[in-house]
Chains A and B, each alone.
Chain A
Amino acid sequence: MRAIYLIARREFLSYVATWGFWLSLASMPLFMGLGIGIPILIESSQPTRYYVLVDETGGSLEQAIFEGAEASRIAEQERAVQAITELVGDSPQIEAAIASQTLENDGGRYVRISPDEIGLATLRPYLTGDALVDTPEGEQPLFAAVYLRGNAVDGIEIEYWSTNLTDAGLRTQFRRSLRDYMQQSRLRDAGISAELIETVNALSPTVRELNPLRTEEAAEVTVAERLPLIVGAGFAFGLWMVIFSVVNMLLTAMIEEKGNKILDMMLASCRHHEILIGKLLGVAMVSATLLLTWGSLAIGSGITIQQFASATDMPIADILAAVLDPGLILPAVGYFIIGYMMYGAIFLAIGSLCETLQDAQSLMSPILLVMMAPLFIIMTAFDSPDSPVVAIASWIPVWTPFIMLARLPLDPPLFDLVGTTAVMLTTALIVTWTAGRLFRMGALNHANQDTIKGWFSFGKKKPVSEA
Chain B
Amino acid sequence: MSETILALEGVSKSYSGKPAVQNLGFTVERGTITGFLGPNGAGKTTSLRMSLGILAPDAGKVRLFGKNPGAAAMDRVGFLPEERGIYKKMKTEDVIVFYARLKGMHKDKALDRAVGMLKDFDLGHTVGMKVKELSKGMAQKVQIISTLIHEPEFIILDEPFSGLDPVNQKSLEAMVKSQADEGRTVLFSTHVMEHAERLCNKIILVTHGNKIFDGSVAEALGEVPRRVIIEAPADQNVGDMLGALGYVVEDDQAEDGNRCWHVDMKTSVDAQDVLKACVDGGVTLARFEPVKAHLHDAFVHMVEASPHKGQETV
Q: Which residues of A contact B (CB under 8 A)?
A: 2-3, 6-7, 10, 14, 17, 257, 260-262, 264-265, 267-271, 444-446
Select which of B55, B79, B88 is within 8 A of A444 by beta carbon.
Answer: B55
Q: Is B210 an interface residue (CB 8 A)?
A: no
Question: B143's closest neighbor in chain A, by CB?
Answer: A265
Q: Is B191 an interface residue (CB 8 A)?
A: no
Can you list 23 A-B contacts with CB-CB less than 8 angstroms, sorted by A residue number? A2-B101, A2-B102, A2-B104, A6-B101, A14-B90, A17-B89, A260-B86, A261-B83, A261-B84, A261-B85, A262-B85, A264-B82, A264-B85, A265-B86, A265-B99, A265-B143, A265-B146, A267-B54, A268-B74, A268-B79, A269-B79, A270-B71, A446-B15
Distance of B168 from chain A, by nearest CB (Å): 18
Interfacial chain B residues near A257, Cβ < 8 Å: 85
Interfacial chain B residues near A261, Cβ < 8 Å: 83-85
Select which of A14, A269, A270, A271 is within 8 A of B89 by beta carbon.
Answer: A14
Question: B74's closest neighbor in chain A, by CB?
Answer: A269
Whether A260 and B85, one on each chain, are in contact in the complex, defined by CB atoms closer than 8 angstroms, is yes
Within 8 A of A (CB), among B245-297: none
Distance of B160 from chain A, by nearest CB (Å): 13
Q: Is B176 an interface residue (CB 8 A)?
A: no
Interfacial chain A residues near B90, Cβ < 8 Å: 14
A6-B54 CB under 8 A given contacts A262-B87, A271-B71: no
Number of A-B residue pairs at CB separation under 8 A: 60
A445–B49 Cα gap in the complex (Å)?
Answer: 12
Q: Is B25 an interface residue (CB 8 A)?
A: no
Distance of A144 from chain B, by nearest CB (Å): 61
Interfacial chain B residues near A269, Cβ < 8 Å: 74, 79, 99, 102-103
Whether A262 and B86, one on each chain, are in contact in the complex, defined by CB atoms closer than 8 angstroms, is yes
Number of B residues near A (Cβ < 8 Å) is 28
Whether B49 and A444, one on each chain, are in contact in the complex, defined by CB atoms closer than 8 angstroms, is yes
A2–B103 Cα gap in the complex (Å)?
Answer: 9
Within 8 A of A (CB), among B43-93: 49, 52, 54-55, 71, 74, 79-90
A7–B99 Cα gap in the complex (Å)?
Answer: 10
A265-B103 CB under 8 A given contacts A270-B74, A444-B49: no
Whether B84 and A265, one on each chain, are in contact in the complex, defined by CB atoms closer than 8 angstroms, is yes
Whether B54 and A444, one on each chain, are in contact in the complex, defined by CB atoms closer than 8 angstroms, is yes
A271–B146 Cα gap in the complex (Å)?
Answer: 17
A10–B98 Cα gap in the complex (Å)?
Answer: 8
Select which of B83, B87, B98 is within 8 A of A264 by beta carbon.
Answer: B83
A428–B52 Cα gap in the complex (Å)?
Answer: 30
Question: A268's closest neighbor in chain B, by CB?
Answer: B79
Whether B99 and A264, one on each chain, are in contact in the complex, defined by CB atoms closer than 8 angstroms, is no
A268–B99 Cα gap in the complex (Å)?
Answer: 10
Question: A443's closest neighbor in chain B, by CB?
Answer: B54
Interfacial chain B residues near A2, Cβ < 8 Å: 101-102, 104
Q: Is B22 an interface residue (CB 8 A)?
A: no
Select which of B49, B71, B81 is within 8 A of A265 by beta carbon.
Answer: B81
Question: B77's closest neighbor in chain A, by CB?
Answer: A268
A14–B99 Cα gap in the complex (Å)?
Answer: 15
